[in-house]
């Protein structure tokens, strides 16, 4: 699943980006563009509360600038050259 953020958010902190992504995800779920059924109750609470981090999931900086991908945290731990390095200059 992908979420696109505005260019004005490319260089802000991870927390700020992740909160924006979660808000956009919450809207998409509310408009039934994304099914609630793919999330656990805890994840849905995190989304509803606008948390930067969703239990068991990670916002991944895709290699395409501004494209954020929600992935399973365990999967994201694999060594990779992600968008954080490519379009955010490795900002953390």
Tell me the per-residue pLDDT of 73-89, one tens digit each, with 9 for 90 and over. Answer: 987 655 655 655 655 55
Q: How far apart are CA 34 and CA 16, in angstroms?
A: 22
Q: Which of 4, 38, 13, 27 is nearest to 88 (CA)?
A: 13
pTM over 0.85: no
What pLDDT score does 74 carry? 81
**pLDDT for the residue 75:** 73
Which pLDDT score is estimated for 76?
60
Q: Which residues pair with 59 in a beta bridge?
A: 70
Domain positions in the chain are 2-87
Q: Tell me the per-residue pLDDT of 6-58, one tens digit each, with 9 for 90 and over.
A: 999 998 999 999 999 999 999 999 999 999 999 999 999 999 999 999 999 99
With a CB cutoff of 8 Å and minimum separation 6, the contacts of 59 are: 3, 14, 17, 18, 21, 22, 53, 68, 69, 70
Strand residue runs (E) in the chain? 2-4, 57-61, 67-72
């Amino acid at each position: 699943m992908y979420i696109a953020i505005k260019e004005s958010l490319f260089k802000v902190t991870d927390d700020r980006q992740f909160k924006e992504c979660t808000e956009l995800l919450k809207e998409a779920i509310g408009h039934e563009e994304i099914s609630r059924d793919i999330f656990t109750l805890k994840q849905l609470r995190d989304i509803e509360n606008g948390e930067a981090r969703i239990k068991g999931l990670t916002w991944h900086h895709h290699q395409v600038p501004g494209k954020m991908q929600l992935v399973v945290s365990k999967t994201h731990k694999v060594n990779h050259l992600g968008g954080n390095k490519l379009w955010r200059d490795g900002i953390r």
